[in-house]
Amino acid sequence: MAEEEEKEVTLLGTWSSPFVLRVKWALRIKGVEYNYVEEDLRNKSPLLLQHNPVHKKVPVLVHKGRAIAESSVILHYIDEVWPLRPLLPHHPYEKAMARFWCKFEADKLSPPLWRVLTTRAEEQREAQASSIESLGLLENELEGKKFFGGQTIGLVDVWLGALAYIIPIYEEITGLKLVDQSKLPRLCGWMEEFLSSPAVEGTLPPKDMLLPRYAAMREAFLAKAKGPAQQ
Amino acid sequence: MAEAEQVKVLRSWLSPWSFKVELALKLKGVPHEKVEEDLANKSPLLLASNPIHKKIPVLLHNGKAIPESGIILEYIDETWTNNPILPKAPYERSMARFWSRFIDDKCVGACWMSCWTEGETQQMFMEQARASLRILDDELGERKFFGGESIGLVDISACFLSLWFGVLQEVAGISLINGEEFPNLCRWIEGFVATDAVTECLPPRDELLATFQSKKQAILATKSMVY
């Protein structure tokens, strides 16, 4: 397709996906121009099915005709192909620590946060406690630093960044507090810094579209859950 | 450049995850001390080295602790640059990382659960496992290893499918990876376990089998991979 070939880089994504946003932020930090293709996941395009036949998911980065899928794999690829303004630190140990915190988010923060959104009562309270415990570890990690990457945005900031706008939405929908300024002041500060940074400004999905979307997910999951829970 | 070394691996002889780390160090000729952990009675060293997850494996290199086997493998490849386990070019590196993740996320769990469930649940897990293994078998094709002529990151990540899953299938009385459905994977398993470095790192099959048989009831109750 002529349009795709004009720029070397194409990103297949959806407007609401935080995984896609990670890739957009990385490309923006690196100053890489790209074509963006909005996918309808209920009606996946031949392009998506061709470029990510295994998972059929977004994001997919296509560079010089070759496709890379999975946001963590894509972020490493971007950092290696465009090495200026590195996302990963230089030293292997610091690299390992950055990867550790990304995995930590996926294993220990994302799942309980999702349960905060999609459950109620006892299960939800446990999920809230679990989320706050994990957020506390991130709070400690920010000591003496503006960003997780130090003075500038790095891989961990890009990886965690969506939480900065998603957590307030979850709090609004559920009425539960997750990031309490008095308890997690560094994290609060980080959320503000990240959201107002040049890489991120103007990229966020509109809150008036995102909030109803997450609220609808909550309703759908609660409706599916077996039996009424006691409030 | 490698620093003057003090390399330890906190590990368990049973664990395919600590095997991955030991194999990578072996392939690069890095001398290291193996510290056997009793997972029912974790050492102060383990708890101090991996306070968040309290799990093995942990690599200790000149006093610094690196947990999580996938992260350790990348660290090893970046620190000891001989006999690379990841390709050089970014696209090929991405493919290696992609397939490693595929094995971790889509193969290992489904294969494990196929062994410890029954009835319809077991059928569901076996179908999931088959679908993923089919994709993996296709991806391997006629190649000797996922890494080409030599063992690479994906081969190391797939180690569970070799010795461990063979033993687990025997304990569970199922046959999932067979030569008819997965000819490439079966050929890969044979080639992998016969490689010198791998043979030197693998736990003895009969001891692994006896241990899983003795732990069968306990694992059936929890289905947990931490045993």
A76/B52 Cβ within 8 A: no
In the structure, what pLDDT confidence band is assigned to residue A230 with cuts at 50, 70 and 90?
very low
Beta strand segments in chain B, E: 7-11, 33-36, 58-61, 64-67
Model confidence pLDDT, tens digit, residues A17-28: 999 999 999 999
Q: ipTM of this predicted complex? A: 0.95
pTM of the model: 0.95
Q: Does B128 touch chain A (CB under 8 A)?
A: no
Distance, CA of B103 to CA of B112 (rounded, Å): 12
Residue A43 DSSP class: S
CA-based nearest residue to B49, from B7, B10, B4:
B10
CA-based nearest residue to A96, from B61, B87, B72, B130:
B72
In the structure, what pLDDT confidence band is assigned to residue A226 with cuts at 50, 70 and 90?
low
Distance, CA of A163 to CA of A105 (rounded, Å): 10
Question: What is the pLDDT averaged over residues B118-134?
Answer: 97
Q: What pLDDT is attached to residue B1? A: 45
Question: What is the pLDDT averaged over residues B49-71?
Answer: 97
Q: Do residues B174 and B112 make contact, with C-beta atoms less than 8 angstroms apart?
A: no
Distance, CA of A200 to CA of A194 (rounded, Å): 7
Q: Does B134 touch chain A (CB under 8 A)?
A: no
Distance, CA of A141 to CA of A97 (rounded, Å): 11
Q: Do residues A155 and A98 make contact, with C-beta atoms less than 8 angstroms apart?
A: yes
Cβ within 8 Å of A, B 147-186: none
The tokens of A7 are what?
């720029």
Which of A109-123, A217-231, B193-207 bottoms out in mean pLDDT, i.e. has the lowest? A217-231
Residue B218 pLDDT exceeds 80: yes
Distance, CA of B57 to CA of B10 (rounded, Å): 5
Residue % of chain A over a pLDDT of 70 = 94
The tokens of B103 are what?
């094995």
Distance, CA of B184 to CA of B166 (rounded, Å): 15
Residue B227 pLDDT exceeds 70: no
- Rounded to a whole number of angstroms, the distance from the CA of A48 to the nearest CA of chain B is 16
- Rounded to a whole number of angstroms, the distance from the CA of A23 to the nearest CA of chain B is 14
* Strand partners for B33: B8
* Partner residue facing B90 (CB), from A72, A80, A93: A80
Query: In chain A, which residues have their Cβ closer than 8 Å to the Cβ of B73?
Result: none
Q: What pLDDT is attached to residue A6? A: 53
Question: What is the pLDDT averaged over residues A138-144?
Answer: 97
In the structure, what pLDDT confidence band is assigned to residue A229 with cuts at 50, 70 and 90?
low
Q: What pLDDT is attached to residue B96? A: 98
CA-based nearest residue to B154, from B128, B192, B195:
B192
A66/B91 Cβ within 8 A: yes
Element containing residue B17 per DSSP (H, E)? helix B16-27
Distance, CA of A13 to CA of A40 (rounded, Å): 9
In the structure, what pLDDT confidence band is assigned to residue B222 with cuts at 50, 70 and 90?
confident
